Amino acid sequence: MPSPRKSLLQLLLAGLSSARVCRDPSNAPLDLPLTLSSLGFLTPISIGTPPQEIVSLMDWTWINQFTLSTLCLGNPHDTASCLAPGQAFFNQSRSTTFTNQTSLYPSRTWNPNGFFGPAPLTVQFGHDVQHVGSLSAPVTFMLADMQFPQPGAFPFTGVFGLSPVFKTDNQSTQSTFYQFWKQGLYSSPIVSFLYCYNSTFGNTAPPRSLCNGNDALQSLGGYHANFIQPGSLQWYDSVVNLQVNIIDIITSPEILNYWALPVTQHLIGNESQPLNKTASGAVFDYASFGRGAPVSVNSYARLVQLTGATPITLDASAAPNNGAQSFYSVPCSKVSKLPSLKYQFGAGTPEWEILPENYVEKIAISSTQTACVLNVRALGDGDWIIGNLGETFAKDKVILFDFDKIKIGIADAVRK
Ligand SMILES: *[C@@H]1O[C@H](CO)[C@@H](O)[C@H](O)[C@H]1NC(C)=O
Ligand SMILES: *[C@@H]1O[C@H](CO)[C@@H](O)[C@H](O)[C@H]1NC(C)=O
Ligand SMILES: *[C@@H]1O[C@H](CO)[C@@H](O)[C@H](O)[C@H]1NC(C)=O
Ligand SMILES: *[C@@H]1O[C@H](CO)[C@@H](O)[C@H](O)[C@H]1NC(C)=O
Ligand SMILES: *[C@@H]1O[C@H](CO)[C@@H](O)[C@H](O)[C@H]1NC(C)=O
Ligand SMILES: *[C@@H]1O[C@H](CO)[C@@H](O)[C@H](O)[C@H]1NC(C)=O
């Protein structure tokens, strides 16, 4: 039976955690500064009391906040058997506001999954205060319960999920952005992304100053109208795409929370490419699967033909993306003359373009040689069935998600 003293302490702690909830005084969105890494964009957030820093991989395709924890094969005291030396993790025992939610949301395992492929991803659920920029609020989140030793340390501790939330989802599958919004911390259910990439071939990119000197900004709770070229913002209904779980991000049990659109045209320059009649679509993913302009196996072959590209053998570490495919290079002097890749997400709606300067990557292949490699990523077989729209597609655009209406916005970004 709890002593009165303990209940008082619990009350004080509960009061402390709700006192941390403070509404953003302005209506401006909260701009998370992003740094590009080999796996995707990283940002620092923190969890707990006192706050523990959780550098997080931003992920439009994950359903909640995930964090490495002390758990290894269900044991919170055997951390070193699972995590590599030097790995930063969240120690739930060090947070006075942490509560275990195992009885409400039992441990869950996905196998396979988009994190570790065929190795199991197991999580337990907890509740604690998350700190994001100037805002703090209690959330339900995932603590990794590692099932196998990690070969090395990850350059991050957590994953900040921004998947759409459906009506039937409970807190265990809700983005913590959504949980903050439901608690009244944001005045808008919209998030928006701007990539202040470094131009390789001299084409004009959005000025780096818009991203406050960072590689990109993920804005939460609204968007900056001055980042968008007037009249270019187009909203679409997000759709459920079943192919994503079959040939793209393969997860069991199945997860269907993706920002996805139907593809009604896929063009190389002005030449329309055939679409697979099954259900052609595209999924927004700016982690590593969204690197490279999406193409089909057939449109890749056609692009190679039209550009006169020649095969190039690259180590996985030098390849411009992690697609299971071969790569091709073009003379660097020809890049600006190559055709754009274009996509339409609904009959009668605008075509969105990826410039050749943005889908060709200049790669150092030795100390003296660089190659200009087609940074495209093919999925499926034959004609277009599915592709990922990530950092390559997002160049020169603003990508918006409305968590209330489940709508996707695409706009042209202002440029220098
Ligand atoms: C987690 O924190 C507890 C309490 O401070 C400490 O006893 C334990 O050693 C920590 N675990 C790890 C793996 O650092
Ligand atoms: C939560 O509680 C369960 C059941 O008591 C336990 O097995 C688990 O290790 C705890 N998890 C955390 C993260 O504290
Ligand atoms: C929460 O949602 C998950 C995923 O759909 C489901 O497996 C679980 O049973 C739900 N739990 C509760 C308590 O509603
Ligand atoms: C872009 O250039 C800036 C400044 O030169 C540099 O700090 C940054 O790391 C570069 N970003 C990327 C993604 O290469
Ligand atoms: C594509 O079509 C437009 C409009 O018909 C034309 O102006 C342009 O030159 C064409 N581009 C190519 C590469 O054929
Ligand atoms: C269309 O996609 C389906 C599902 O991936 C695949 O089985 C089929 O072979 C594809 N058809 C063509 C013509 O590419």
* Ligand 4 atom closest to Cα of residue 36: 13
Task: Please write the tens of the pLDDT for every residue from 52-84.
Answer: 999 999 999 999 999 999 999 999 999 999 999
Residues 325 and 300 sit within 8 Å (Cβ to Cβ): yes
| Residue 266: C-alpha distances to residues 153, 234, 296 (Å) | 39, 18, 9
**pLDDT for position 27:** 76
User: For the chain, what percent of residues have pLDDT higher than 90?
Assistant: 93
Query: How far does the centroid of ligand 2 lie from the alpha carbon of residue 139, in Å?
Result: 17
Backbone Cα Rg of the chain? 22
Query: How far does the centroid of ligand 1 lie from the alpha carbon of residue 176, in Å?
Result: 25
CA-proximal residue: ligand 4, atom 10 (nearest) = 198
The burial class, CB within 10 Å (0-12 / 13-18 / 19+), for 395 is buried
Which residue is catalytic, options 24, 31, 59, 145? Answer: 59
CB atoms within 10 A of CB 8: 11
**pLDDT for position 13:** 41
Nearest ligand, CA 99 = 2
Task: Please write the tens of the pLDDT for every residue from 245-261.
Answer: 999 999 999 999 999 99
Q: CA 395 to CA 408: how far, in whole Å?
A: 16
Q: Is 76 in the pocket of ligand 2 (CB under 6 A)?
A: yes
Is pLDDT of 41 > 90? yes
Q: CA 187 to CA 51: how far, in whole Å?
A: 25
Decide if 237 is catalytic.
no
Mean pLDDT of 172-193: 98
Residues 402 and 232 sit within 8 Å (Cβ to Cβ): no
Give the predicted TM-score (pTM) of the model: 0.93
Is pLDDT of 7 > 60? no
Q: CA 210 to CA 414: how far, in whole Å?
A: 9
Task: Please write the tens of the pLDDT for every residue from 329-362.
Answer: 999 999 999 999 999 999 999 999 999 999 999 9
Residues 6+ apart with CB under 8 A from 106: none
* Ligand 3 atom closest to Cα of residue 171: 1
Q: Considering Cα of 233, then 238, then 243, then 249, what sign does the dihedral take?
A: positive
* Ligand 4 atom closest to Cα of residue 198: 1
Is pLDDT of 12 > 70? no
Average pLDDT of the residues of the chain: 94
Is pLDDT of 137 > 90? yes
Decide if 412 is catalytic.
no
What domains, with CATH codes, occur in the chain? 14-187 (2.40.70.10), 228-396+406-412 (2.40.70.10)
Chain mean position to CA 58: 5
**pLDDT for position 26:** 59
CA-proximal residue: ligand 5, atom 7 (nearest) = 270
For residue 109, which phi and psi values (nearest 5 degrees)?
-125, 135
Residue 381: its H or E element: none
Task: Please write the tens of the pLDDT for every residue from 371-394.
Answer: 999 999 999 999 999 999 999 999
Task: Please write the tens of the pLDDT for every residue from 198-221.
Answer: 999 999 999 999 999 999 999 999
Q: Is 112 in the pocket of ligand 2 (CB under 6 A)?
A: no
**pLDDT for position 5:** 38
Tokens of 120: 């199991």
How many residues are listed for the chain in this entry?
416
Which residue is catalytic, options 285, 396, 402, 412? Answer: 285
Supply the DSSP string of 168-231, one letter for each residue.
Answer: T--GGGS-HHHHHHHTT--S-SEEEEEE-PPPSSSPPPPPGGGGTTSSEEEEESS--GGGB-TT
Q: CA 37 to CA 300: how far, in whole Å?
A: 26
Mean pLDDT of 19-42: 79
Residues 414 and 210 sit within 8 Å (Cβ to Cβ): yes
| Secondary structure, 3-state, 301-325 | HHHHHHHCCEEECCCCCCCCCCCCC
CA-proximal residue: ligand 6, atom 14 (nearest) = 382
Is pLDDT of 318 > 90? yes
Residues with CB under 6 A from ligand 3: 104-105, 170, 172-173
Q: CA 400 to CA 408: how far, in whole Å?
A: 6
**pLDDT for position 88:** 98
CB atoms within 10 A of CB 328: 20
